[in-house]
Structure 1
């Protein structure tokens, strides 16, 4: 079916698991830098969580914020890698312009997921999966926290079961490195991050290069 101008609409993206293989191939291109990125993440996030975790009452909630900020930076590194650019550890700290939205999203998703977990666990897991692209949307498109959560949910709700399974599989890949005395996570965690970022690009292509709603200029093969 063609659009009024004769072009073809963009096909609906689907959750696919071969992004994990793609992520592994990409990781090998700049593995050294990715290891350093993950070391920086683990050290800084761990230190922040240790300090904030000692605070009474809101400590648990606040301790998730530094991890979210750092993860937003890691996703920025992943998107840069996907564009074919050379990445650097410093890239993960160049997110000062989106810290506010990241904090808002972190608090809201943490509360929302926690509430969902109360109801037989499954709703919380599904909600977490539907919000999987939230940080990426903030970093990539500059959305505010609430808008990013809504956009992620709207994009993935039609694939809610597959994205939930995908999130679980990717999480298992990410933590598999713990088996190797914890060191292996420096390799498996980047695979998980790149897998999510690659899938995100399926649903949200580069602006001006087939963004959602943009028609193809040529008919499908």
Structure 2
């Protein structure tokens, strides 16, 4: 008779389920035992392979424990900052308005890399004039409205002179300065609108007045005006030269928030650095203005916007800015 082998002694420790678990570590009959987790050293963070949960993620004890591990998170990549350009948009720069309050699409954001003023840049004067004409034709209503304000200012001045008939020097000077201040602010408004056009935005009427440096605008325009008229008193030519050198002064004030003296200096340096192109542009603008004046003055409603946009096109290109098609 064959002896029946005796049963192996029972090991209660092996048959008992692990503490706090649902028996996931207990080996079934005829299956190898599952690997038991090794206790972590105090102060040592748990690794993913040390305690795998049901979904493959580490689980930890205690209330509020993270369910998806506490592996170190990679830091975000560093932000690369470009060096500050010599000239760049400041203040109410392009694309800062929303369609609700200005009609300008703020989604057209451009990055400007203005180069140092003083470096010559190619400029096609014909393209500048064509660009101004095309932008005016694409958005005529607000441009006609803002230009018509100049005619209104002239009519108000004429009516005040006829009504009050000032016969002393001081009232005439004060009235003249008030009218000129309105004209200078109107010029800055047209520059603001032209800057939006070169940024690819069609300005609404209210957008033209979105500049916050009216004081610098008035001081810059007054200095340029005085310099021009003082130069005109000396055989005309010096006055024309001063006006020519200041052709971009308001652009530097409105677009880059420069002070009066800095804006006039920047304009003069930009003009002298690109003497041939800017001289042709100034002559073209003078011819366009003269033709508009000869057409009973009504031609200025078109000549004014086209000239301002063309000069702004040149300003953007000569300073390394972006010009929208």
Give TM class, smaller chain: 0.7 to 0.9
> Gaps (5+ residues) in structure 2?
1-114
CA radius of gyration, larger in: 2
> Gaps (5+ residues) in structure 1?
1-8, 211-221
Q: TM-score normalised to the size of structure 1?
A: 0.78
Partner of 1:154: 269
Change (3 A) 1:164 1:58: farther
How many residue pairs get matched?
199
**Alpha-carbon RMSD:** 2.7
Q: Contact between 2:120 and 2:274, CA under 8 Å: does it hold in 1?
A: no
Secondary structure of the structure 2 residue equivalent to 1:63: helix
Partner of 1:21: 130
- Distance in 2, matches of 1:119 and 1:13, equals 32
Partner of 1:37: 146
Task: Select which of 248, 258, 268 maps to 1:143.
Answer: 258
Give the 5 Å matches for 1:36-185. 36-44=145-153, 46-47=155-156, 51=160, 55-57=171-173, 59-95=175-211, 97-160=212-275, 162-185=277-300
Secondary structure of the structure 2 residue equivalent to 1:107: helix
| Offset at residue 167 of structure 1 (A) | 1.7
Change (3 A) 1:50 1:134: farther
| Offset at residue 49 of structure 1 (A) | 7.7
- Distance in 1, matches of 2:279 and 2:178, equals 26
- Distance in 1, matches of 2:277 and 2:303, equals 21
- Distance in 2, matches of 1:93 and 1:45, equals 19
Residues 82-111 of structure 1: per-residue CA shift (max 9 Å, x gap): 11112111122222x111001111221111
Runs (4 or more) in structure 1 with deviation over 4 Å come to: 48-54
| Offset at residue 62 of structure 1 (A) | 4.7
Q: TM-score normalised to the size of structure 2?
A: 0.55
Secondary structure of the structure 1 residue equivalent to 2:213: helix
Larger relative helix fraction: 1
Q: Contact between 2:123 and 2:314, CA under 8 Å: does it hold in 1?
A: yes
Q: Contact between 2:121 and 2:274, CA under 8 Å: does it hold in 1?
A: no
Change (3 A) 1:191 1:113: same
Stretch moving more, 81-90 or 163-172: 163-172
